[in-house]
Amino acid sequence: MSTDKATEPRPAVKGADRRQVLGGAVVLSALAGIPLYAWNREREGRDGAGATDSEKLLLARLSDLVVPATGTPGAVAVGVPAFVELALLHGLEDTASEDSGKVKMGGDRGGLPLLEEVKKGLNRHADAPFLTLSPERQHIALESYDAEAFAPEQKDHPWKKIKGLILTGYYTSEVGASRELQYELVPGRYDPDLPLPVNNRSWSSDWTAVDFG
């Protein structure tokens, strides 16, 4: 894992790549085909609430940059953006908080405004509109922004919350929990001391690890 990016020179990335904007639109339309009951319910149930198209596009890009397709599907393919949108609307991960942990009850948009902060931060790190960049340049800009967010001196940072929700969305999806990781609802026994396989995969159903890990 790279954790020292904050000390490296900021990548000088300029100029929009029109093909990537179009590519983003394709991603967005692909999202509409995913059975995202929660997202759709939210859209139907609220007047003007929910993410804007550009927020959805940003969420989709960020989700796949954090958890790309590898041997298993990536975040967009398993519907993470819709979960994050729902989660933001309902203030999960303290995203709709005013002060310390107090969830705001009034705002229709819940924690969605955090996405605007994240976008500004990314644009700053990219020296260009983040969504217009090529995937490679987006990766570099996000890596730099991520390093800033996780620097030891940082406490609250909007990206930590969004990234946390992306991770939750992925590792609690069926693919993330049971194909990328392992899931066993009924272990049936307790083995207190086993050799750890070299290519080990952790248990998404180890609830103690999920809580305290």
Partner 1 sequence: MSMDFDAIVVGSGITGGWAAKELTEKGLKVLMIERGRMIEHGTDYVTETKAPWEMEFRGEGDAKLYADEYPVQRLNRHFTEFTQNHFVNDKDNPYAVADGTKFNWWRSYQLGGRSLTWGRQSYRWSDYDFGANKADGYGTDWPIRYADLAPWYDYVEEFIGVSGAAEGLASLPDGKFQPPMALNVVEQHVRKAIAQRWPDRCLTVGRTANLTAPKEGRAPCQYRSICARGCSYGAYFSTQSSTLPAAQATGRLTVVTDSLVEAVDYDPATKKATGVRVVNVKTGERSRYGARIIFLNASAFNSVHILLRSRSEAFPNGLANSSGVLGTHVMDHASTLSTMALIPGFEDRTTFGNRPTGVVIPRYRNLDKKDGDFTRGYSFQGGALQSGWTAAKRSAGIGKAYKEQNRKVGGWRMVFVGFAESLPRVTNRLTLDPVKLDPQGLPMLNIHFEHGDNERRALADAKAEAAKMMEAAGGHVIMGFDEPGVGGSAIHEMGGARMGHDPATSVLNRWSQAHDIANLFVTDGAQMSSSACQNPSLTYMALTARACDHAVSLMKEGAL
Binders of partner 1 in range 126-185 (CB under 8 A): 139, 142-143, 146-147, 149-150, 160, 163-164, 167-169, 171-174, 177-178, 180-181, 183, 185
Contacts of 161 (CB under 8 A, 6+ apart): 93, 94, 95, 111, 114
184, 162 in Cβ contact below 8 A?
no
**Residue among 179, 147, 130 at smallest CA distance from 14:** 130
Nearer to partner 1, 52 or 154 (CB): 154
Check binding of 102 to partner 1 (CB under 8 A).
yes
Check binding of 68 to partner 1 (CB under 8 A).
yes
What minimum distance in Å lies between the beta carbon of 163 and partner 1? 7
Scan residues 13-52 and list those touching partner 1 (CB under 8 A).
38
Name the segment binding partner 1 (CB under 8 A); options: 12-20, 21-29, 43-51, 66-74: 66-74
Contacts of 121 (CB under 8 A, 6+ apart): 145, 148, 158, 159
Could you give the count of Cα atoms lying within 13 Å of 182 in the half-sphere of its Cβ? Answer: 9
Check binding of 86 to partner 1 (CB under 8 A).
yes
Nearer to partner 1, 29 or 75 (CB): 75
161, 20 in Cβ contact below 8 A?
no
Check binding of 100 to partner 1 (CB under 8 A).
no
Residue 190's CB: how many other CB atoms inside 10 A? 5
Nearer to partner 1, 124 or 150 (CB): 150
